[in-house]
Amino acid sequence: MFSNADRQRLDRLVHQQVEIAHSEKMQKLLKDWERHGRFDPDSRPMVTMELWTFREDILPPLMECTGEEARKWEERFLMNIVNHTLFDDDTIVTDYMPFSYGGAMVPFRLPVQVEHAEKEGGLGHHFVEQLKDLEEDFHKLQSSELILPPKEETDREMAEYNELFGAVLPAKLTGHSLYSCPVQDIIHLMSMENMFFAMYDYPELFHQMMDLLTDDYVALFQAEEQDGRLLSTTGCERVAQGSYCFTDQLPSQREHYRTTDIWGYMDCQESAGLSPAMYGEFIFPYYKKVLDCYGRISYGCCEAVDPIWDEYLSNLNRLGKVSISPWCNEEFMGQRLQGKKITYLRKPDPTLIGVGSRLDEDAVRAHFRKTVQAARGCTLEIVQRDVYQIHNTYEKVRRYVELIREECENHQK
């Protein structure tokens, strides 16, 4: 399957991952994440870089394999360790390869249609409008297709993986957090403009559409629960937006898990143009129906959560993480989250590292000094997302992480 050279390269990477996972440094990092997840008063801010969006600036010079299949595995193993070896952030390196029994859904049985920019490597894309006028097209809204891939497929994948690498880095069946972004689903089918017009022109139909879609998400999660697809999410399992599941507020040893035993994620960044009142009328009642399925909630992406905090989000008693995006009022949210068991999940401005070939270190320091001061008395986590180019070598990312940590250490107390 692999050439001798490729096999040797993959074996070195597998052994390197296990060595890192068993290192004293990684064991200490796991303890730091556990303290962070317990909201211990002496826990430190955690800092991670989401690599996948700018991996093309990092991975190609590291690739050595020549075979197509070998290069797929090489990239996967590199993705597992590069944050640790090159950036020295707080990304966890495990001594296993995770696999999960998942579930998915095709909203309204309307597969998303996307037109991409012709330029190679371009990010531009357009979602084809399948619902142009909600009243005329409402008949297209069917019950969503719920997809539960056979567990045997995952079992077979794990067995095939173990034949290749399992003697050193075994496969492990792990839990997965639940995920639902209904307004994003709607945007992918009818565009932002059409969605806003639909709220104004056909409010009752819009309510019906939201009710149908969120009912389908609840049905999907219940189907996963009934089929025994849910497992513990209390450690280094991922919850969306680059964060981890570490918590002591959910069960970690249970024979059969319910949806209310695990983490779930939702965001509504597409509603940023709505007033809080319209969010409360058209969005929140339906989102809450889904959020009530989760044991712990991680909420938000790029939207500003401060306008909807007091009246809506603050009433979610299972909220465990809330996104503080570049468009959010940091000081307001710091005051609201102070002393609470809710993570202040800061998403910094990606232009700090993504624009220009060199870091503006003064600007980086000022940005994170402001964050640390705003988040005093909060449990702070920093996840850098949405960086698509770094215009430089990994040293730029490593230095960025160093600057964040220095500002946290200098100004947290």
Mean pLDDT of 11-22: 98
Contact status, residue 346 vs residue 14, Cβ threshold 8 Å? no
The answer on pLDDT for 27 being more than 70 is yes
Mean pLDDT of 157-167: 98
Contact status, residue 244 vs residue 33, Cβ threshold 8 Å? yes
The answer on pLDDT for 120 being more than 80 is no
Q: pLDDT value at position 126?
A: 86
Residues 6+ apart with CB under 8 A from 200: none
Return mean pLDDT, the chain: 96
Q: In the numeric block, which tokens belong to residue 21?
A: 């996972």
Question: Assign residue 242 a region: left if phi > 0, alpha if psi is -120 to 50, beta otherwise?
Answer: left
Mean pLDDT of 234-238: 97
Q: 175-211, pLDDT tens digit by residue? A: 999 999 999 999 999 999 999 999 999 999 999 999 9
Mean pLDDT of 389-405: 94
Angstrom distance (rounded) from CA 314 to CA 205: 28
Q: Rounded to two decimals, what is the model's pTM?
A: 0.96
Q: Which amino acid is at 316?
A: L
Q: pLDDT value at position 124?
A: 82
Contact status, residue 322 vs residue 338, Cβ threshold 8 Å? no
The answer on pLDDT for 412 being more than 70 is no
Type and span of the H or E element at 178? strand 178-180
* Res. 121 pLDDT band, cuts 50 70 90: low
The answer on pLDDT for 122 being more than 80 is no
Question: Percent of the chain, pLDDT > 70?
Answer: 98
Mean pLDDT of 244-268: 97
Angle at which helices 203-226 and 192-201 cross, to 10°: 120
Q: What is the CA radius of gyration of the chain?
A: 22
Which of the pair, 404 or 120, is modelled with greater confidence? 404
- How far, in Å, are 117, 228, 262, 270, 386 from residue 123 at the CA level? 7, 38, 33, 18, 12
Q: pLDDT value at position 392?
A: 81
Mean pLDDT of 104-127: 86
Q: In the numeric block, which tokens belong to residue 54?
A: 């700018």
Mean pLDDT of 34-60: 96
Angstrom distance (rounded) from CA 33 to CA 18: 19
Q: 387-396, pLDDT tens digit by residue? A: 999 988 899 9
Question: Percent of the chain, pLDDT > 90?
Answer: 94
Contact status, residue 294 vs residue 233, Cβ threshold 8 Å? no
Mean pLDDT of 308-327: 97
Contact status, residue 78 vs residue 13, Cβ threshold 8 Å? yes
